[in-house]
Amino acid sequence: MKAALPVSPLAPDGFPDLPAIAGVAAAIGQAGLYKHARPDLALFAVAEGTRAAGVFTSNAVGSAPTDWCRAALKGKGRVRGLLVNAGCANSFTGPAGYAAATRSAAAAGALLGAEAEEMLLASTGVIGVVLDDAKVRAVLPDMGDRLAPVDWPAAARAIMTTDTFPKGAGETARIDGVRVSIAGIAKGSGMIAPNMGTMLAFVFTDAAIAAPALKAMLRAETETSFNAITVDGDRSTNDCVLLFATGAAGNDTIKAADDPRLDGFRKALRRVLVDLAIQIVRDGEGATKLVSVHVKGAASDASAKIIARTICESPLVKTAIAGEDANWGRIVMAVGRADQPIVREKISVKFGPHWAAKNGMVAKSYDEAAMSAYMKGAELDITVDVGAGDGAAMMHTCDLTKRYVEINGDYRS
């Protein structure tokens, strides 16, 4: 059996205690999609009447499961379950891959008394290999017999690939005085630069919310969570975030995303998504530093985000951080190559509370010893003002270490 990767030094102390979600059951299975024995399947069953929404990768290659989900979610967004496999991305597999996805959805749906089109699918693993759905279908009947309230840590572990720890987050809120719960799991460690790795996230709530409202909220909140992280700049073929609402809490169904009754729920959903997204960065392949990059003074928020992403994805910036070197010159370089409006004479760079550059030149207060001491921390903040307007954005990333190369050089071994 292949040795497990050591747990990231940035990992949380443990898996959180997530709330139970009425109307959701799950079972974990082992289809043998890996060379070594490990759980690699998760089947979720949701109550009849559940609505769902999804946000998917903008990678033009895509995958059979993302194609399937896009088609299944057209219309009213009514679903009955979700089948997730690790060990095979089923991407770049042509008609054979889509046929395998179809058979898997049909088999899972039959267990739940549902049509294939009422099942959603997600896959993660090696690209270019057709899913061996015969293995999946062989273990599904046993999984159907074992459906029970969700064991969130087990479900999170079943979908891991190069992840070193399972990822979960939960919250509660109130809608019209009715208590509703949210619980989510995610996986991701490499091939992470979502623009809606492989990054997958599944979030469940017992609130009653119509599919169009779910979709609008999810799209908006993904922008400041999963679309505001990057590990290595590579956008996967399989990235997806799925949000399910069972309605079992009993509140009156909310039909519009801008309904003020959703304010508390939206904030809770945002906290769950941001928590999961940052956990993915904490588990970045080979990572030893969690870095938050704040860009302000940009021509627009969109421009600020482009600058922040350019900084976060610069190999020279990321390796300097790995070496605990506050090399602000590399940050200025990244700002300049982002091809966004800037005012050179106003650019300022700060590491935590320490100014490195102010108004286009080295800060008069620059203190190399204080800067070096700050860079030894496990969590770092970098603030950049580009002096061109009022736009602002924040992104999270990690450092780039030798371990990243080792992990990815050995990925298919």
27 strand-pairing partners:
43
Are 212 and 253 in a shared domain? Answer: yes
Neighbours of 323 (CB within 10 A): 11
Q: What is the pTM of this model?
A: 0.93
What's the CATH code of the domain at 394?
3.10.20.340
pLDDT score of 211: 97
Are 254 and 345 in a shared domain? Answer: no
pLDDT score of 188: 85
- 18 in a domain, yes or no? no
- 15 in a domain, yes or no? no
Taking only the tens of pLDDT, the chain with its 413 residues reads 355 678 999 999 999 999 999 999 999 999 999 988 999 999 999 999 999 999 998 878 889 999 999 999 998 889 999 999 999 999 999 999 999 999 999 999 999 999 999 999 999 988 899 999 999 999 999 999 999 999 999 999 999 988 999 999 999 999 999 999 999 999 987 655 554 345 899 999 999 999 999 999 999 999 999 999 988 766 566 689 999 999 999 999 999 999 999 999 999 999 999 999 999 999 988 899 999 999 999 999 999 999 999 999 999 999 999 999 999 999 999 999 999 999 999 999 999 999 999 999 999 999 999 999 999 999 999 999 999 999 999 999 999 999 888 877 765 54
Are 275 and 358 in a shared domain? Answer: no
Residue 63, both tokens:
């995958």
Are 337 and 319 in a shared domain? Answer: yes
- 304 in a domain, yes or no? yes
- 194 in a domain, yes or no? yes
Are 85 and 52 in a shared domain? Answer: yes
pLDDT score of 58: 80
Q: Are strands 240-245 and 51-56 parallel, antiparallel or unpaired?
A: antiparallel
Domain stop point among 282, 307, 331: 282
pLDDT score of 166: 97
pLDDT score of 413: 47
Are 214 and 350 in a shared domain? Answer: no
HSE (CB half, 13 Å, CA atoms) of 89?
23
pLDDT score of 230: 87
- 12 in a domain, yes or no? no
CA distances from 58 to 53, 196, 227, 299 (A): 16, 5, 11, 25
* Range of the structural domain that residue 39 is part of: 24-282
Q: Is 198 a catalytic residue?
A: yes
DSSP string, 210-264: -HHHHHHHHHHHHHTTGGGB-SSSPPPSS-EEEEEE--TT-PPPB--TT-GGGHH
- 1 in a domain, yes or no? no
Are 221 and 344 in a shared domain? Answer: no
What's the CATH code of the domain at 272?
3.60.70.12
pLDDT score of 152: 98
In degrees and rounded to multiples of 5, residue 85 shows phi and psi of -125, 145
Are 172 and 68 in a shared domain? Answer: yes
Contacts of 174 (CB under 8 A, 6+ apart): 180, 264
Distance CA 167, CA 100 (A): 28
Are 320 and 213 in a shared domain? Answer: no
Triad 58, 62, 65: Cα angle to 5°: 120
pLDDT score of 1: 38
- 2 in a domain, yes or no? no
Are 168 and 149 in a shared domain? Answer: yes
Q: What is the number of structural domains in the chain?
A: 2
- 36 in a domain, yes or no? yes
Domain stop point among 282, 310, 331: 282
Catalytic residue among 198, 230, 237, 246: 198
Are 330 and 295 in a shared domain? Answer: yes
Are 206 and 81 in a shared domain? Answer: yes
Domain stop point among 231, 262, 282: 282
pLDDT score of 126: 85
